[in-house]
């Protein structure tokens, strides 16, 4: 009986220690500041590296199919022939985020077939930028 009690006590101690450590980590991570994403410094270079070849008028295939010109902040925010692609402050409904995050069905497959696929870090940058209001900074 004492051995079972000791084993249960050890499991409880390890579990309590784990939970305490986890909560401490979550507290500090939650309190950490999210970096301010800059359109010029962080977002535009992603577009230049991964998207601009297709989304530049008049010959880019993506531009011809959608009317989306990502050559500048202003033209990006004008959106495509289908409507806005950015909803500042809402990455869940922004077409751009849905596309790059793989939530746009078959359309998202286009990204997987690119010569230079978008990275998880770049997806996170675009997500944060939209969540932070998609500012022209």
**pTM for the whole structure:** 0.74
For 79-135, the pLDDT digits (tens) are 999 999 999 999 999 999 999 999 988 877 777 667 688 999 999 999 999 999 999
The Cα–Cα gap between 123 and 13 comes to 40
The domain limits of the chain are: 1-32, 39-131
Percent of the chain at pLDDT above 70?
74
Q: How far is CA 65 from CA 2, 31, 80, 86, 119, in A?
A: 74, 43, 9, 18, 24
């Amino acid at each position: 009986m004492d051995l079972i009690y000791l084993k249960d006590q050890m499991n409880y101690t390890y579990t309590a220690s784990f939970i305490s450590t986890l909560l401490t980590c979550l507290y500090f991570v939650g309190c950490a500041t999210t970096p301010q994403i800059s359109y010029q410094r962080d977002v535009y270079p992603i577009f230049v590296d991964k998207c601009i070849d297709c989304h530049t008028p008049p010959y880019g295939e993506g531009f011809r199919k959608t009317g989306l010109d990502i050559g500048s902040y202003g033209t990006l925010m004008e959106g495509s022939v289908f409507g806005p692609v950015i909803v500042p402050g809402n990455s869940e409904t922004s077409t751009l985020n849905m596309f790059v995050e793989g939530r746009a069905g078959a359309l998202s497959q286009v990204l997987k077939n690119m010569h230079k696929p978008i990275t998880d870090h770049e997806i996170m940058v675009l997500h944060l930028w939209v969540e932070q209001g998609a500012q022209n900074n």
